[in-house]
Amino acid sequence: MSIAVEVFDSRRNQLGEGPTATGDKNSHVQWCDIYGQLIRSKNLITGEVGEYKTDEPVGFQIPRKKGGDILGTANGPVLRDKDGTLHKMPSREDADGFKDKNVLRWNDAKVCPDGNLFLGSMAYENQTNEGALYRLSSDGKALTRLFGGVAISNGMDWSNDLTRMFYIDTFAMSVDVFDYEAGNLSNRRKLVEISDGMGYPDGMCSDAQDNLWVAFWMGSCVRCFDGKTGKQIAEIKLPVQKVTSCCFAGEKLDQLIITTAVGNPGEPMDLNEYPEAGFIYVAQPGVIGKKTNLFGA
């Protein structure tokens, strides 16, 4: 059975990423355009749109419990108040004890149900093994490097019982799973092996049954995998190549918001062939998802 998609927002994003759905009836949908240096939003019910600029490329955005957002600006993260005031936070250099060897930026991030924010980095030129995964405490005071050797730190989510964390390093061509306990990760193993021709695994989210909805860059789709066996169980096809991430939205959490991209700066893109590249889509996959967790103590 095919799952239909439709355009949710037709503002074109150079590199749309990291959607969230918060507020009344999970209807405030927000995402970032990494290289467009924009945070954009649209209300699922009213259709009201908004956006604001950032001073640097911004790898992630997550609304805060106290209002405003936490942003993964290239040299951040930073807290942004509703009025636009920015507050510095611990940096990668603080956590690592050394400066970045190459030019890095933050990429995907997500708040765990226990309040910890997990955030990953990547190199601008996609050098393998330059990135890392970090954990930021809910009060924003402690940034901890968990492990390095990452190419492109991407999608993540947790099982309902908080005993497992799912994780994607795009160039590893797999979806991995860790044992999870109180912010700590152990026993990494592969859950899903990505075959040649499927595209590159990018952002993801999980539904109420712990199944994983994974966006595929150069794969023109979102695929769903069983969270226990890794078996593919569904696919949502899109009319664009570069599908980047997804999240569940709406009062019943039964709508899947899907972000896409024109591409990284300098990459060729034929907008005649893919006229909707960089648009935001919505689908109803027939399952119930999980809420976006807000950042903050």
The domain locations on the chain are 5-283
pLDDT mean over 41-50: 98
Considering the entire predicted model, what is its pTM? Answer: 0.96
Predicted confidence band of residue 186 (pLDDT cuts 50, 70, 90): very high
Distance CA 200, CA 197 (A): 9
Which residues contact residue 56 at a Cβ distance below 8 angstroms, ignoring those fewer than 6 apart? 37, 73, 74, 75, 76
pLDDT in tens, 99-134: 888 889 999 999 999 999 999 999 887 677 899 999
5-283 falls under which CATH superfamily?
TolB, C-terminal domain (2.120.10.30)
Q: Is 94 helix (H, G, I), strand (E, B) or coil?
A: helix
- Tell whether the model's pLDDT for residue 74 goes beyond 80: yes
Q: What is the pLDDT of residue 266?
A: 77
Among the listed residues 9, 33, 157, 202, the single catalytic one is 202
Amino acid letter at 257? Answer: I
Tokens of 288: 């119930």
Q: 89-92: long-range contacts at Cβ-Cβ below 8 A with a sequence spacing of 24 or more?
A: 89/136, 89/140, 89/143, 90/136, 90/140, 90/141, 90/142, 90/143, 91/143, 92/121, 92/132, 92/134, 92/143, 92/145
Which residues contact residue 243 at a Cβ distance below 8 angstroms, ignoring those fewer than 6 apart? 199, 202, 215, 216, 217, 219, 220, 221, 222, 258, 259, 260
Neighbours of 264 (CB within 10 A): 15
Among 19-33, 58-72, 113-127, 147-161, where is mean pLDDT lowest? 113-127
The rounded mean pLDDT for the chain is 95
Q: Is 202 annotated in the active site? A: yes
